Amino acid sequence: MKKTGLFLLGLTTGAAAAAYLAYRKMDDEKTKEFVNSTVKTANDLKDRALDYAFYALDSVDDVKEQLQYKTSDAKSKIKDAAGKVNDNVVNKAQYYYDEGSTQFHKAADNLRNQVRKNDDDSQDIVIDPDAIKKEDNLSK
């Protein structure tokens, strides 16, 4: 790897030296023309680099906007779904509460009716404590 690096360094240095010698051997008119064309090419490259930098910034801004849009869209969908689930749970809880309450009231009314019916049909049982004492004494 080190030999390859040295070879490339030598090749680049040799090419630069050859270009410098060729530049020195040119006459003044060709030298000005070469310098002007080199400056023009360098300016064109700078302009192109700036254009690509602006394109990259615009692309990043577009991606940010899309990401914000998608994020806000996802948030609103999650809120809607959570609201629907919450409404559904509340509605079911209310239904079961109402149904249970109704069943409780029906059962309570049914018991009341049975008690009233039994009260009307039978006589009360009265337990006399003195009679219990007498029976206990007799059995002894």
The string of pLDDT tens digits covering residues 26-37 is 788 887 887 888
Q: How far apart are CA 64 and CA 54, in angstroms?
A: 15
Amino acid present at 118: N
The string of pLDDT tens digits covering residues 65-102 is 999 999 988 888 888 888 888 888 888 878 777 766 67
Please compute the mean of the pLDDT values over residues 20-28 and round it to a whole number. Answer: 79
Q: How far apart are CA 13 and CA 116, in angstroms?
A: 118
User: Which residues have a Cβ under 8 Å from the Cβ of 26 and sit 6 or more positions away?
Assistant: 34
What's this model's pTM, rounded to 2 decimal places?
0.40
At residue 59, the pLDDT reads 93
Please state which of the ranges 16-20, 21-25, 131-135 shows the lowest mean pLDDT. 131-135
Q: Which residue in this structure is represented by tokens 């809120």?
A: 79
Q: How far apart are CA 24 and CA 17, in angstroms?
A: 11
Does 139 have pLDDT greater than 80? no
Supply the Cα-derived Rg of the chain in whole angstroms. Answer: 51
At residue 66, the pLDDT reads 93
Q: How far apart are CA 17 and CA 95, in angstroms?
A: 92
Q: How far apart are CA 101 and CA 99, in angstroms?
A: 5
Closest listed residue to residue 38, CA positions, set 22, 54, 55: 22
